[in-house]
Structure 1
Amino acid sequence: METESGIQAWLPVALSPSATALMLLGVILSTSIFADAVARRTRLPRISLLVMVGVVVAVIQQLVLEVPEPRPLDGLGEPLIHVALVMVAFLLGGELTLDRLRSTGALILIVSLSVIGVGALAVGIGLLALGFPLVVAVSLAAISVATDPAAVQETVHASGDSRLRARLLLGIVAIDDGWGIVVFGLAMAVLGWLLSGAGGGERALLEAGWELGGALLLGAAVGLPAAWLTGRLRPGEPTQVEALALILLLAGLSEWLGVSSLLAAMITGTLVANLSTHHTRSFNEIEHIEWPFLVFFFVLSGASVDLYHLDEAFGLTLAYILLRLAGRYLGGMLGVRLARERQADLPQNLGLALTPQAGVAMGMALLAAEQFPAYGTLLLSAVVGSTVIFEILGPVLVKRVLR
């Protein structure tokens, strides 16, 4: 029998991977209680605290225990993160009701297009001016469009703010990832066309079209029957089982079909919110069980940082962070000025509230690294490093804009 090393040598029985995972899940949930207590006393957003806990986990795992791969729960972390994002997207889709779109729809469109347009141009042109390669500049410009809806939604809900600026932020993050998918797909198509000929560009364009169009089809295929069935399968209000079934179906089917799970979940949420006239409680059921999954999402996002490669892209990461912040600020200012009839109700720094960035950006970086392997390590290091900063700084900026 091999001699066990480390802490397991002191235990009377072997520590199995499943036992380790279960204990780590318990520890992660326990940290959320600690984060709540600290947040109440310091006014720091609990999301930022949870991401910082994740970074501490990464430091212990990679630098102290010398485990090279940043996978704190092995194969369990990715499904948890995926389910949390689908829950958030479903709830954000529920914000896009016809009544709300009639009152703020044009404003959402104006501000969101202004923020993503100015923001992407600021990042792309800025990185090119600083001498970074075309692939890196265009890829990061497209990735910069994505926003983390979980961080924005949680901070807005925790604030209890129901003013126009809060409703506008929820509406924008509900469609931001849709814009992000479109912009990223087009950017990859253009780069593929320039660097590998027409075949590479056509392939990238087809993949982006399927990711977007397939998500619309999946959202409708799940959302239409769900809008009629939910709440009717048994008398009374919908159960948590029905709500969880929707989320898991969306998460699993979207991964299997290779379409955007966030866009599919937003379409489903929008259909359920607008067509389920017989009740309004599906979203309440999701909200009751959402927070534990969000805790896993924020902690595991911080714990997924690869500390060994951060120094390789320090200059690029710093430039990307500063340019994205500048682009968001200027884009928000332009959007507020364009929306003249509502300008008095909106702060000039509205774009800074759209700073958080997480899972979608990492997914885009992985796709870009796969398509352009020569720049893969550089892109991944910059996106992961900046994501930690944006997840810590972002909720603070959201609170500042709401104040």
Structure 2
Amino acid sequence: MLDVTLGLAILLTGGMFFAKIAQLFSLPSVTGFILAGLILGPSGFSVITADTVGHNLDHFIQIALMLIAFGIGEHIEIRRLGKIAKQVGYICFGQAAATFFLVALSTLVLSWALNIGKPFVHHGVLALLLGAVALANAPAAILHMVRELDARGPFTSILMAVIALGDGLAIATFGIVISITHQMVSPEDISLYSGALGSIYEIGGSLAIGAATGLLTDIVLHKTHNRGEMLTTGLALLLLCGELTRVLALSPLLAGMTAGFILINREERDIRLFRILNGFEPPIYVLFFTLAGVHLDLSMLKLAGWIGAAYFTTRFCGKYLGSWMGSHLAGASQTVKKYIALGLFPQAGIAIGLVFVINSDPLLVPWAEEITPIVLAGVVLAEIFGPIFAKKAFLQANETTAPMNKQQSQNPENSLPGLLFSRSDELHLMPWAGDTLYPSANPKGVVIFGAANYATVRGLARVATILAHEFEALPLSVRIIVPGSKWNMANPNEDSLFLPETDEVKSLGYPLLTETIQGEPIPGLIQAVRENSTKALVLGYPLGRNPLTIQKIVEKVAASVTCPVVVVRFIGTFACDRILVPILSPDELELLLPVLDAMATARQPTITLMQLLHADCSRKEIMSAEEQLHQWLSMNLLETTTFPLAVPAGSRLEAILQEARHHDLIIMKAVRRRGLNKLFLGSLAAAVVTNCHNPVFTVYPGKASPPPKKTG
């Protein structure tokens, strides 16, 4: 039998792996989680099964359901609905009523026709339960898609509000239906009056416990100020709420949603617990959805039969017709009328959770065997086609600012073809649009760039020329001819080797010096630097998925020369109007100043100096760091638009990547490390080069310090 701890590790790892694969196809992570469960479960390799690890993790399912219900309550904030409240209300109740009616009616008719020997109560209970489950949407899947597409606008706002309110209505309806079915299937012969009282008890009791939990949580939050204390007490109250409703035979989902609803609609509106739980939820959600996939047996598609087909079809029809009627009555826009239903089609977490509730209810066991394959088969199909329809809705609504899509268009590495095939056209170098750069009448040395790749040589030539203008030097293109290469054997005309960079340098207003060296790259570059009065050496990271393959060459050369080495990572369109300079300490600016001066002189960009502070720094430390940066800027880069910025960084890499979205180019210092020092301490610059979708300059100090400065 598989160990539970190992099972957890397999579920988490497999879920995240397939989530990344799903993202490559522009599908939400939830689809990847469920796919992982399918592959790990009975439908795949049977690594995880309900009989081995699955049932031992049922408590994670209960926790996840409570957190999902509580999170849905957050999105039902009455004050935020505002002007769209009418549209949201009509659409929400319209799609819910139509879906429940169509699914329940079709189930009742087919169940009676296919199982004539069973009592009518059996068919009625099955119809009511499937009708209630059909109302559930997939808030997690749509929320993932909204974030990935960066969708914003009235359509997105209405859709998210409808999903949140709709799932709240689904949970409430399910609670009512469970109460009604309990009275219908109770072994005791109870009167209509007693049945109504029983329903009122279940619904009212769930609402009361949820409201009490929300009020108590609000009181506790005002008494605690530490994030750890808030997480501990808030989670304890939610779990206590869930366990109390289970013991009293009430609805934990309805209670959890009510708690979130009460908390978010309080006058104080304390959302800290929601945000803290956001950091706690991901692994629980991964386990929940991956376990849901484990419970999905593709053979159930056959068991679902005609009722399963009717459930899937009538649910879609109900969502579409009901939302269209609701939006028409509310006077919504044509975009909302046409496409709102596509965003309501996905179904995953809540529906699976409701199935788990039915399976754990002793009174509903006879129906669970029929409902489970029907709903799970519908979830499989909805998770395959639903995200595709939802994405189409956002695109048709024209509300996707989609920085991810822009990055993919600039960087083929982000798309699936880019991962499978190496490309050489990542660099898009626009014609030089700046002022002509006039060389010094008395040049003092050279700025060398290595011309090893025709795909990047023009870009390197431009960077080297800009630096040469700063140092009052000339650009020198050096091409290393490796013995035995086709260039060496063919004895070509040397001038033909330098045509691309010659044209580029000339377009900036400079002449180009050239030199060829026979030998290996590292000794050849070191020789070129030492034989000339070199102010800087410019090299290029190779294009493709692994730019750091040149790292050993760069580090060995930088350790052997006295001038700074500027290594350029080209990706997407090379522009330098908005430059980001991340630093750990202001001391790094001494090395970077000549490069910043050069860029400022050539293009007059906007430069942001971003100092990365420790995550727990105080406001005073932030202000002090920004003041220090401001003082440095007041003495340097006087004619350039600059912004000092001090950022508390929980992750330095993530902080840089977030800020890089608003910039064209990153310039940062690289640290030379070797051996175990490099292995354990790593390199922030290398991580940025590997993960960032902006061009990057990494500046290595030469073995002599300080770096060369502008003369004359």
Query: Quick check: 1:104 aligned with 2:84?
Result: yes
Q: CA distance change for structure 1 residues 194 and 238 in 2, over 3 Å: closer, same or farther? A: closer
- What is the CA–CA distance in structure 1 between the aligned matches of 2:270 and 2:372, rounded to whole Å? 44
For 2:333, what is the secondary structure of its paired residue?
Answer: helix
Q: CA distance change for structure 1 residues 153 and 132 in 2, over 3 Å: closer, same or farther? A: farther
Q: CA distance change for structure 1 residues 188 and 93 in 2, over 3 Å: closer, same or farther? A: closer
The percentage of counterpart residues that share the same residue type is 24
Task: Trace 1:231-246 onto structure 2 (pairs within 5 A).
Answer: 231-234=222-225, 239-246=230-237
Q: CA distance change for structure 1 residues 183 and 24 in 2, over 3 Å: closer, same or farther? A: same
- The one of 375, 380, 402 aligned to 2:394: 402
Paired residue type of 1:145 = L
- What is the CA–CA distance in structure 1 between the aligned matches of 2:193 and 2:184, rounded to whole Å? 7
- What is the CA–CA distance in structure 2 between the aligned matches of 1:336 and 1:370, rounded to whole Å? 39
- What is the CA–CA distance in structure 1 between the aligned matches of 2:291 and 2:369, rounded to whole Å? 21
Paired residue type of 2:379 = T
Show the counterpart of 1:95: 75
- What is the CA–CA distance in structure 2 between the aligned matches of 1:204 and 1:349, rounded to whole Å? 41
- What is the CA–CA distance in structure 2 between the aligned matches of 1:171 and 1:71, rounded to whole Å? 39
User: What does the per-residue CA deviation read over 1:5-32, in whole Å, with 9 as the maximum and x for residues that have no partner?
Assistant: xxxxxxxxxx7x6xx1111211222124
User: What does the per-residue CA deviation read over 1:214-238, in whole Å, with 9 as the maximum and x for residues that have no partner?
Assistant: 2211111111121132153246897
Larger mean Cα displacement after TM superposition, 156-165 or 254-263? 156-165
CA contact (8 A) 2:343 2:389 kept: yes
Question: Counting strand residues as a fraction of each chain, which structure ranks higher?
Answer: 2
- Alpha-carbon shift at residue 46 of structure 1 (Å): 1.7
- The one of 337, 347, 364 aligned to 2:328: 337
- The one of 242, 251, 255 aligned to 1:260: 251
Q: CA distance change for structure 1 residues 300 and 64 in 2, over 3 Å: closer, same or farther? A: closer
Instruction: Please give the root-mean-square deviation of Cα atoms over the aligned residues, in Å.
Output: 3.5
Paired residue type of 1:147 = N
Q: CA distance change for structure 1 residues 217 and 158 in 2, over 3 Å: closer, same or farther? A: farther
Query: Quick check: 1:28 aligned with 2:11?
Result: yes
Show the counterpart of 2:39: 56
CA contact (8 A) 1:332 1:352 kept: no
Task: Trace 1:268-283 onto structure 2 (pairs within 5 A).
Answer: 268-275=259-266, 277=268, 279-283=270-274
Paired residue type of 2:389 = L
CA contact (8 A) 1:147 1:173 kept: yes
Task: Trace 1:292-311 onto structure 2 (pairs within 5 A).
Answer: 292-306=283-297, 310-311=301-302
Task: Trace 1:4-403 onto structure 2 (pairs within 5 A).
Answer: 20-59=3-42, 70-71=50-51, 73-128=53-108, 130=110, 131-132=113-114, 134-135=123-124, 136-181=126-171, 183-184=173-174, 185-186=176-177, 189=180, 199=190, 205-234=196-225, 239-275=230-266, 277=268, 279-306=270-297, 310-340=301-331, 342-344=332-334, 346-355=336-345, 356-357=347-348, 358-363=351-356, 365-366=358-359, 370-371=363-364, 373=366, 376-403=368-395
Q: CA distance change for structure 1 residues 343 and 312 in 2, over 3 Å: closer, same or farther? A: same
CA contact (8 A) 1:369 1:380 kept: no
User: What does the per-residue CA deviation read over 1:282-338, in whole Å, with 9 as the maximum and x for residues that have no partner?
Assistant: 221111121111111111111113556553332221221112112111112112211
Question: Counting helix residues as a fraction of each chain, which structure ranks higher?
Answer: 1
The structure with the largest alpha-carbon Rg is: 2
For 1:348, what is the secondary structure of its paired residue?
Answer: helix
CA contact (8 A) 1:118 1:327 kept: yes
For 1:390, what is the secondary structure of its paired residue?
Answer: helix
TM-score normalised per structure 2: 0.48
Show the counterpart of 2:433: none
In structure 2, stretches of 5+ residues that fail to align are 116-122, 396-712
TM-score normalised per structure 1: 0.80
CA contact (8 A) 1:222 1:250 kept: yes
Larger mean Cα displacement after TM superposition, 39-48 or 237-246? 237-246
Larger mean Cα displacement after TM superposition, 231-240 or 350-359? 231-240
Q: CA distance change for structure 1 residues 64 and 87 in 2, over 3 Å: closer, same or farther? A: closer
- What is the CA–CA distance in structure 2 between the aligned matches of 1:311 and 1:222, rounded to whole Å? 43
- Alpha-carbon shift at residue 367 of structure 1 (Å): 7.7
- Alpha-carbon shift at residue 182 of structure 1 (Å): 5.0
- Alpha-carbon shift at residue 206 of structure 1 (Å): 4.3
- What is the CA–CA distance in structure 2 between the aligned matches of 1:36 and 1:372, rounded to whole Å? 33
Larger mean Cα displacement after TM superposition, 125-134 or 143-152? 125-134
Larger mean Cα displacement after TM superposition, 182-191 or 244-253? 182-191
In structure 1, stretches of 5+ residues that fail to align are 1-14
User: What does the per-residue CA deviation read over 1:65-89, in whole Å, with 9 as the maximum and x for residues that have no partner?
Assistant: 7x9x734524432221221222222
- What is the CA–CA distance in structure 2 between the aligned matches of 1:105 and 1:205, rounded to whole Å? 32
Larger mean Cα displacement after TM superposition, 76-85 or 124-133? 124-133
Paired residue type of 1:58 = G
Q: CA distance change for structure 1 residues 72 and 394 in 2, over 3 Å: closer, same or farther? A: farther
For 1:116, what is the secondary structure of its paired residue?
Answer: helix
- What is the CA–CA distance in structure 2 between the aligned matches of 1:119 and 1:335, rounded to whole Å? 12
User: What does the per-residue CA deviation read over 1:60-113, in whole Å, with 9 as the maximum and x for residues that have no partner?
Assistant: 67x857x9x734524432221221222222222222223213333332221111
- What is the CA–CA distance in structure 1 between the aligned matches of 2:90 and 2:247, rounded to whole Å? 34
Larger mean Cα displacement after TM superposition, 167-176 or 200-209? 200-209
Q: CA distance change for structure 1 residues 376 and 225 in 2, over 3 Å: closer, same or farther? A: closer
Larger mean Cα displacement after TM superposition, 34-43 or 20-29? 34-43
- Alpha-carbon shift at residue 181 of structure 1 (Å): 4.8
Q: CA distance change for structure 1 residues 266 and 278 in 2, over 3 Å: closer, same or farther? A: closer
What is the aligned length? 381
- What is the CA–CA distance in structure 2 between the aligned matches of 1:42 and 1:109, rounded to whole Å? 34
- Alpha-carbon shift at residue 278 of structure 1 (Å): 7.6
Paired residue type of 2:41 = A
CA contact (8 A) 1:177 1:263 kept: no
